[in-house]
Amino acid sequence: MGFFDDTISLSAPPEGRVEATAKVTGSGKYSAEYEVASLCHAVLVGSTIPAGIIKSINVGNARQVEGVIDVITHLNRPMVPAFADEAKIKEARFGLPVFHTDKIYFKGQPIAMVIAETLEDATYAASLITAEYAADQFNVDFEKSYKNAELKTAGKDRGTADSWAETPSVVEAEYTIKNEVHNPMEMHATIAHWTAENELKMFDKNQGVNNVQRMFAKLYNIPAEKIHVVSEFVGGGFGSGLRVWPHCLAAVIGAKAVKRPVKLVLTRPQMFTLVGYRPESWQKVKIGADNSGKFTGILHQARHATCVYDNFNEGITRIARLVYNFANLRTESATVPLNLSMPTWMRGPGDCTGDFAIESAIDELSYKLNIDPVQLRLQNLALEKDPDSGKKWSTNFVDECIKLAAEKIQWQNRKAAIGAISDGDWKTGYGMAVGMWNAGRSNASAGIKMLKDGSITVQTAMTDIGTGTGTAMQNIAKDATGISKEKIRIELGNSNLPPAPSQGGSTGLSSISGAVAAAVNALKMKLAGFAAAENDTYKNVVGADIILSDNGISYKTTNQQFVPYSVIWEKNNLQVLEVEASSAPGDERKQLAFCSSAAHFCMVKVNTKTGKIKIEKMVCAADGGTIVNEKAAANQISGAVVGGIGMALMEEQLIDPKLGTAIGNDLAGYHFAVNADAPIVEVIFVNKPDVNSNPSGSKGLGEVGIIGAAAAIANAIYNAIGKRLRDLPITPDKVLMG
């Protein structure tokens, strides 16, 4: 059965996504929902101190609970080969070597795991485990620590640092953003099953099955093909599934220890400390312009938090180097190690953070110069070439994004004067910002299986975390083959299928579209090989000349030199025709620069009495090359924009500096936008192909929908009430007291 097969009979498949039926009926199986024989349940116990050494762990009471099979700690865990000694632990580059040392790096770090017959037994037994520690000094206070982290140059300087500092208009300001947590709706979960001594099967929530496979091959020193990772339905990721996290290894260690399949599902509070977050940051931007509004130079400094047991670098200053022409530029960065778990990439990593500071500063500069913010940006964009690499852009339509979005929100209704539009206590403001992302592409493979009836199954290991990868594959296969959508099945999210990169960084569609196109070409050539026995025309053909239909193969135009599949299958006694092909970016990536971009415009109402903020409308115009599926792409952008509202107004993971504890680590305490917070969102696409990007002409859209949204909102708030709020999230208290 295929991954997205319907368990419910349908006379005709519904419009929309390939897996829609499974999702709307609740029949799609997510990682924690597989029934595996003799499955047992694991629950993690977290440390109660943020730094120190475990002196002893009392597991006696837990072991006596009925149904408990084992309790794993660093004292009794089966050795993970890659952690055999301290030197190897670093080499493994796994981050936290869970259960392998007595060291505590952050509060909530797993120190023990109860494995029991039922989740209830495991949960109860876990509550009985206590530990004694030799506590160390710890530091979780970014605000008090960041100044001590020495800034270092990040990237090559342009021009000089000081030549522009005295230009007529200079804005210099600091910006801070609190920790943000991905919080996909599905909690991370792993079912680990050692099916033989050195053979591992996992049902796991992640964004890249091959990545998980490679990591466990390295950790256990076994061949990758002995590890089978299944991630068919993934309930969101936003970056949290791009790493292999400690709970995932814990489940695998547990399964080894009890010689049974083990299921480990994180609780929502554990989602705040065990699967990454966007780290807290400080930035300073100094930007100058001459009287005409031409940017003269920029200094962008950034520091962000990281953990003490590994390093993570966001690349916050990257965006300063990308969007605009700055003759003089300097970017500096530093990381601040804290006793917290490891941060990771979260939707629009680095750029999302950096963009907020830069686009806020440009807005401030526009008021200083008395130049419309739209105009100021248009006259400074680097549209010809990537200012950093010097390579010509393959395509860069950020200017069109700005113009399209300005028209849609009716920018002419904006008043340059602060608070000029008001209705009682409510002031209306308009703001805008742009976002950009490097439109990457990686090597990827896809396979096709064809049956006699002309139906095909297109396969890849790539996951679909909700972005619509499967649907895009179906669209691309349909266009490339000519076979109707109803006859195209999709299989994905399984390491037994042709390998593919992780789904992240907006590279999924670019990478897989090349692979699907290559596989279709391989299918055509293979069919042509068989057809040549029936019709000489097919003896020396290229894929581009071959047209497929639901029933057979044709040459150049439909039904010309037609050979039915039935003939090919019968004469060659075929059951299934299988092809696999891979596709990689070529020289074009060496010669050209690639970017996706977006312009975000916001209309906001701010209540001067209560500090409440109500976003009325968001407009996002985006350049993602050719839009393969407009509805899916627009939905993707809408979701990212509303994610940007969360970033701007709500999302913050607070840490108690005295205790090192995450505060409000549940969905009651950590706020992202609910439906009532979501304004009118209008999405427009430039929709022009980037022919160098990949065969579909598309460029990734996953990130640009959020990069710039927060700055547009903050800029609109300034236009409404004249308060320049540089600390995210902008909660009512900051509006009232700022």
Partner 1 sequence: MIKFILNDVEIKTDLKPGMLLLDLIRYNQQLTGTKIGCREGDCGACTVLVGEIKNGHLEYSTATSCLMAIGNACGKHIVTIEGINIDGLNAIQEAFAKEGATQCGFCTPGFIVSLAGFSLDKSTPTYERSIDAMNGNICRCTGYKSIERAAKNFTEILGQRSTQEPVEFAVDNRIIPAYFLKIKERLLKLNGQDTQSATAGNKFLGGGTDLYVQQHDTMPGEAIGFLFDKTELKGINQYDDVCEIGGAATVADIAVSPVFQKYFPALKEYIELVSSTQIRNMATVAGNFTNASPIGDLTIIFLALDAKLTLNDGAQKRTISLRSFYKGYKQLDKKADEFIEKISFVLPAETDRFNFEKVSKRTHLDIASVNSAIKISMEGNVVSSASISAGGVGPIPAWLSNGSAFLTGKEITPENIEELLKIVQSEISPISDARGSEAYKRLLLSQLIKAHFIKSFPALPIQNLLHG
Name which of residues 220 to 239 contact partner 1 (CB under 8 A): 233-238
How many other CB atoms sit within 10 Å of the CB of residue 11? 4
d(CA 430, CA 416): 9
If one asks whether residue 710 binds partner 1 (CB under 8 A), the answer comes out as no
Reduce the DSSP state of residue 719 to 3 states and report it.
Answer: helix
CB of 231 to partner 1, least distance (A): 12
Question: Which among 157-165, 320-328, 522-530, 628-636 is the span making contact with partner 1, rule CB under 8 A?
Answer: 628-636
Tokens of 450: 């064809």
Question: Which among 215-223, 260-268, 299-307, 506-514 is the span making contact with partner 1, rule CB under 8 A?
Answer: 260-268
Specify the residue, 157 or 666, whose C-beta has the smaller distance to partner 1. 666
- By rule CB under 8 A, what string of x and - marks binding of each residue 297-326 to partner 1? ------------------------------
User: Could you tell me which residues are beta bridge partners of residue 299?
Assistant: 286, 330
Reduce the DSSP state of residue 592 to 3 states and report it.
Answer: strand
CB of 688 to partner 1, least distance (A): 23
Question: Which among 2-10, 60-68, 91-99, 394-402 is the span making contact with partner 1, rule CB under 8 A?
Answer: 2-10
If one asks whether residue 677 binds partner 1 (CB under 8 A), the answer comes out as yes
Task: Specify the long-range contacts of residues 83-86, CB closer than 8 Å, at least 24 apart.
Answer: 83/219
Specify the residue, 6 or 588, whose C-beta has the smaller distance to partner 1. 6
If one asks whether residue 256 binds partner 1 (CB under 8 A), the answer comes out as no
CB of 532 to partner 1, least distance (A): 42
Binder among 452, 612, 617, 724 for partner 1 (CB under 8 A) = 612
Q: Are 85 and 101 in contact (CB under 8 A)?
A: no
Specify the residue, 84 or 663, whose C-beta has the smaller distance to partner 1. 663
If one asks whether residue 276 binds partner 1 (CB under 8 A), the answer comes out as no
If one asks whether residue 466 binds partner 1 (CB under 8 A), the answer comes out as yes
Alpha helices (H) in 146-239, listed in sequence order: 209-220
Specify the residue, 693 or 698, whose C-beta has the smaller distance to partner 1. 698
User: Could you tell me which residues are beta bridge partners of residue 134?
Assistant: 53
How many other CB atoms sit within 10 Å of the CB of residue 632? 20
CB neighbour list of residue 58: distance below 8 Å, 6 or more residues apart: 129, 130, 131
Residues binding partner 1: what is the number (CB under 8 A)? 86
Binder among 468, 498, 624, 660 for partner 1 (CB under 8 A) = 468
Binder among 137, 196, 573, 609 for partner 1 (CB under 8 A) = 609
CB of 570 to partner 1, least distance (A): 35
Binder among 75, 79, 576, 674 for partner 1 (CB under 8 A) = 674
Question: Which among 50-58, 483-491, 524-532, 638-646 is the span making contact with partner 1, rule CB under 8 A?
Answer: 638-646
CB of 485 to partner 1, least distance (A): 14
Site for partner 1 in 475-514 (CB under 8 A): none
DSSP string, 625-668: BS-S-HHHHHHHHHHHHHHHHHHHHT--BEEETTTTEEES-STT
If one asks whether residue 638 binds partner 1 (CB under 8 A), the answer comes out as yes
Return the amino acid letter for 112. A
Q: Are 434 and 708 in contact (CB under 8 A)?
A: yes
CB of 119 to partner 1, least distance (A): 7
Alpha helices (H) in 1-48, listed in sequence order: 20-24
Specify the residue, 196 or 668, whose C-beta has the smaller distance to partner 1. 668
Q: Are 321 and 142 in contact (CB under 8 A)?
A: no
Binder among 64, 410, 566, 610 for partner 1 (CB under 8 A) = 610
Binder among 439, 448, 465, 622 for partner 1 (CB under 8 A) = 465
Binder among 24, 79, 134, 576 for partner 1 (CB under 8 A) = 24
Site for partner 1 in 170-209 (CB under 8 A): 183-187
Could you identify the residue written with the tokens 């019968």? 570
CB of 9 to partner 1, least distance (A): 7
Reduce the DSSP state of residue 600 to 3 states and report it.
Answer: strand
Tokens of 180: 């943000």
Closest to 286 (Cα-Cα) out of 252, 320, 241: 320
How many other CB atoms sit within 10 Å of the CB of residue 523? 29
CB neighbour list of residue 259: distance below 8 Å, 6 or more residues apart: 194
CB of 634 to partner 1, least distance (A): 8
d(CA 44, CA 114): 7
CB neighbour list of residue 674: distance below 8 Å, 6 or more residues apart: none
If one asks whether residue 27 binds partner 1 (CB under 8 A), the answer comes out as yes
Count the alpha carbons within 13 Å of 605 in the hemisphere toward its beta carbon.
13
CB-based burial label for 197 (10 Å; 0-12, 13-18, 19+):
exposed
H or E stretch covering 387: none
Binder among 101, 130, 145, 267 for partner 1 (CB under 8 A) = 267
Specify the residue, 222 or 736, whose C-beta has the smaller distance to partner 1. 736
Specify the residue, 171 or 642, whose C-beta has the smaller distance to partner 1. 642
If one asks whether residue 8 binds partner 1 (CB under 8 A), the answer comes out as yes
Site for partner 1 in 101-140 (CB under 8 A): 118-120, 123-124, 127
If one asks whether residue 551 binds partner 1 (CB under 8 A), the answer comes out as no
How many other CB atoms sit within 10 Å of the CB of residue 388? 17
Question: Which among 318-326, 371-379, 407-415, 639-647 is the span making contact with partner 1, rule CB under 8 A?
Answer: 639-647
If one asks whether residue 358 binds partner 1 (CB under 8 A), the answer comes out as no
CB of 681 to partner 1, least distance (A): 5
How many other CB atoms sit within 10 Å of the CB of residue 127? 14
Q: Are 597 and 625 in contact (CB under 8 A)?
A: no
CB of 87 to partner 1, least distance (A): 40
CB of 372 to partner 1, least distance (A): 27
CB of 466 to partner 1, least distance (A): 3
**Given the DSSP bridges, would you call strands 52-58 and 563-564 parallel, antiparallel or unpaired?**
unpaired
Q: Is the torsion defined by CA of 90, 94, 98, 103 positive or negative?
A: positive
CB-based burial label for 680 (10 Å; 0-12, 13-18, 19+):
exposed
If one asks whether residue 632 binds partner 1 (CB under 8 A), the answer comes out as yes
Binder among 287, 401, 509, 642 for partner 1 (CB under 8 A) = 642
Binder among 1, 35, 544, 590 for partner 1 (CB under 8 A) = 35
Site for partner 1 in 381-400 (CB under 8 A): none
d(CA 601, CA 410): 10
Q: Are 321 and 155 in contact (CB under 8 A)?
A: yes
Q: At what angle do helices 565-572 and 508-531 cross, to 10 degrees?
A: 70
User: Could you tell me which residues are beta bridge partners of residue 230?
Assistant: 203, 494
CB of 321 to partner 1, least distance (A): 30
Question: Which among 213-221, 329-337, 631-639, 690-698 is the span making contact with partner 1, rule CB under 8 A?
Answer: 631-639
**CA Rg, the chain, in Å?**
27
Reduce the DSSP state of residue 304 to 3 states and report it.
Answer: strand
DSSP state of 80: P
Site for partner 1 in 648-667 (CB under 8 A): 649-650, 654, 663-664, 666-667
If one asks whether residue 38 binds partner 1 (CB under 8 A), the answer comes out as no
CB of 350 to partner 1, least distance (A): 21
Question: The sheet that has 552-555: what strands, in order across it?
Answer: 546-548, 552-555, 563-564
Specify the residue, 16 or 67, whose C-beta has the smaller distance to partner 1. 16
Closest to 237 (Cα-Cα) out of 10, 469, 555: 469
Binder among 5, 33, 400, 727 for partner 1 (CB under 8 A) = 33
CB of 464 to partner 1, least distance (A): 9
Binder among 425, 453, 486, 570 for partner 1 (CB under 8 A) = 425
Binder among 2, 5, 30, 130 for partner 1 (CB under 8 A) = 30
